[in-house]
């Protein structure tokens, strides 16, 4: 089980330091915890945490190794500032920065070349779901966003229905289970190696302390990508507890 926090463009630096320290003080072993934090915070928070069970991640990287890309951040820079993983293809980047799946695949290649793990987000809009296209949209995103030569042990996927992000509306348990089954069955075709079926698939979209246990109990759900609730240490801790409880059952 993996519980990943997506802080997005939050919180203030002081609050971020305090939050990271509180989260670090609790052990949720064997749950793998990841914090995707704003890039300027990576180096100071990684120094603050030192040898921690918590993994730090960037929220994006450029598809090139270096060069004339004002305002962008390279995979090597993330790694050198304490990140071991990068979040790619979040729907806010797909929508607000026009990122296509082919670009996300190029970024993933660059990230892996610089030693980072990659968490790639997939998800349909409400319009696509109402039009009965949700499954096809997610399959297409998966096939195009994951590079053909992606090493299985570097990859994680998050299914995040766009309409569930930050809205308090969670997809139904049946819909989550069905989409995770679809993604899991598609993974071997988009990856190299027989172990492809073991790629973790997280659910994201309004995960909170109340709904996490039921979501984590579903087959083919290997944890959560948590936005709003990850800014509250108590809520995030409770979500990690649900993941740990699920691990002890299975």
Could you list the residues that contact ligand PGA (CB under 6 A)?
A: 6, 160, 165-166, 204-207, 225-229
Least distance (Å) between residue 177 CB and ligand PGA:
19
- Report the nearest approach of ligand PGA to the CB of residue 200 (Å): 15
Any catalytic annotation for residue 160?
yes
Catalytic residue among 99, 124, 128, 160: 160
Identity of the residue, 64 or 232, whose beta carbon is nearer to ligand PGA in the bound complex: 232
Smaller CB separation from ligand PGA, 28 or 159: 159
Q: Residue with the closest Cβ to ligand PGA?
A: 227
When the beta carbons of 91 and 196 are compared against ligand PGA, the nearer one is: 91
In the annotation, is 90 catalytic? yes
Cβ proximity of 116 and 150 under 8 Å: no
- Minimum CB separation of residue 211 from ligand PGA in Å reads 10
Minimal distance, residue 19 CB to ligand PGA, in Å: 15
Please identify, using beta-carbon distances, which residue of 45 and 226 lies nearer to ligand PGA.
226
- The residues assigned a catalytic role are 90, 160
């Amino acid at each position: 089980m993996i519980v990943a926090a997506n802080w997005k463009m939050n919180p203030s630096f002081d609050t971020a330091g305090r939050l990271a320290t509180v989260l670090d003080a609790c052990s949720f072993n064997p749950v793998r915890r990841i914090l995707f934090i704003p890039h300027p915070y990576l180096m100071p928070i990684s120094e603050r945490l030192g040898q921690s069970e918590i993994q730090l991640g960037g929220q994006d990287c450029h598809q090139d190794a270096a060069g004339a890309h004002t305002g962008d951040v390279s995979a090597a820079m993330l790694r050198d500032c304490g990140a071991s993983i990068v979040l790619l293809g979040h729907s806010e980047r797909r929508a607000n920065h026009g990122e296509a799946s082919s670009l996300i695949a190029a970024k993933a290649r660059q990230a892996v070349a610089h030693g980072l793990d990659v968490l790639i987000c997939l998800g349909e809009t409400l319009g696509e779901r109402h039009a009965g296209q949700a499954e096809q949209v997610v399959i297409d995103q998966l096939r195009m966003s994951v590079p053909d030569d992606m090493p299985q042990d570097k990859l994680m996927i998050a299914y995040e229905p766009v309409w569930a992000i930050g809205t308090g509306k969670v997809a139904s348990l049946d819909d989550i289970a069905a989409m995770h089954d679809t993604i899991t069955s598609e993974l071997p075709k988009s990856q190299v190696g027989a172990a492809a079926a073991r790629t973790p698939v997280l659910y994201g979209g309004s995960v909170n302390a109340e709904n996490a246990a039921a979501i984590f109990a579903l087959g083919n759900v290997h944890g959560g990508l948590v936005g709003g609730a990850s800014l509250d240490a108590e809520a995030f801790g409770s979500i990690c507890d649900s993941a740990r409880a699920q691990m002890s059952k299975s």
